[in-house]
Structure 1
Amino acid sequence: MDVIDTAAPPDTAPTAAALEPDTAATYAEWFATLADPTRVRLLHAVAASPTGGMRVGDLATALDISQATCSHHVRRLADVGFVVVDKVGTASVVSVNAACCTGLPHAADVVMGTLAARPCCPEDLPTDVTTRAMTDADLPRVREIYAAAIGARQATFETEAPTRAALREKWLPGHRWVAELDGEVVGFTGIAPTSPRACYAGVGETTVHVAEHARGRGVGTALLHRQVTEADAGGLWTLQAHVFPENRASLALHRSAGYETLAVRSRIARLDGEWRDTVLLERRRADDA
């Protein structure tokens, strides 16, 4: 990442690349759609719904507006791709477009220039969570946590947990860690090589998983902090992660560690016979950004 000297004369100071007109027009349309407070409330209600979607009638009741008004705002949000409307029987069910979860925050970052000043690593580390190097003795518990994540179908395309031997060989030496809470291993993270070619020796693909009962206590934050700081110190210059768009907690966690959204890979692979998208995120070491 370049460091701008604020004392430098204007004609010698670095300048940011201009935003392309087509991109600016797209972002302006998104932001204009959200200029109406009712639409902001509506989008939030749908995004925060524990069931992942809401009927138009229920949305109207929740926002204390008429159903006709609700339908109008839903159409406006659907026109720009913020929401998807499906017919379930006679009802219209509104759900968030998964790409919106990453596209909108990314647009705001681009416009405000914050992508040029990415965070180094997560802040507000929990005081009761510790991280340490993973040992072979941890592999049964790591496999158990990974198997639960596979079963939830929101973390990976894998459908069966790898063997302990496969897990032992999966990650780069010195780049696998576990998190402990109250004396129990409750999460893990590791970095796997992306290619055997020497030119990609500093590029790794990351994974992080937290046991369900330990979520919400900062375990993922502690693991990401260990992951990225050890990667920086260990000579890795690029970290990549693939996250399902529906996994909002994971997307937010990676963004807090300096990962950027590079793309939403539409229908990249099938899981249980259904096409799924993934969000491709990347973090560059500060000296190489």
Structure 2
Amino acid sequence: MKRITLFVLMVTSVFTGAFSKDHLPSEQDYKAFLKSKTLVVMDTNPMSDFNFKIKEVMEDVWTVTDYDFISQQEFEDKKGDPSYSFLLSTTVTFSMDKTKARYTFLSLLMGKSETEVRDLPDLCSIPLSYLRVEDDSYAYKMEAFVRFIQDHVNLMIAQPDLIKANVFKYYNKNIKSLKDKTLYLVKDDLASNVNTLSKINNLYPYDVKLVTQEEVEQALKRKDPNIVILHKVGPEGTKYKARCYKILVGAADSRFYYFDYHMINKKKPDGLLDRDLKQMGSR
């Protein structure tokens, strides 16, 4: 059974575009990160897909700080030390969300003395899955997520004016580059009214292919510069009401081309919607 690494109650999230002032990281937090040692917190299940993949990815990708791997108990001992930063999977809930849905995020946090875990400066958090969804559904995308987090932190350091509540709207400007890419979509990630090429082509004018998860994985492995993939986070039938996150990620550069989420209901199912395709093809 999957074991969570950490429980974090968040009033807002990096990726909602709705930071409260209390949770917005500062320019100083990002600068302190560059001087820190990054400790990757391992899952309590030693056989988890997360543990195997994160070790491989860190060796291949991470260059911005020195790093090491620690246990959850070691995290509890070190989280108050501002000389450390922490990369870990976190369980996220939203205090204003009546659904009480829980999600697994990949988070980069800064250590801070005399601070509760929930208040550690959150430099970047990416939704990985709904909590009950097994980690093999996203582990093969881990390199893209870690690469994005590293690039995001470097961007915030270079352009601190972007450190704001709606910071991730910055990446939606990349929609205009989709016209030069092939969009890979897995049918199970699509709402039923947009789950065929003919339906998609009525809304989205650029090159698109319906593919398998294995084809997405292969595009990521070969870092195909012409392909953008969809990362969809939803309850996958385990819960009716929850958030559905939709992120377009470059297979080669891990750039985000689109980010949005919606609350699932009868009119807005767990999947990419027709309105998403319209937005993605309108630039």
TM-score range for the pair, normalised by the shorter chain length: 0.3 to 0.5
Would you tell me which structure has more helix in proportion to its own residues? 1
Higher normalized contact order (CA 8 Å, seq sep 6+, divided by chain length): 2
Structure number with larger C-alpha Rg:
1
Q: What TM-score does the superposition give when structure 2 sets the normalisation length? A: 0.33
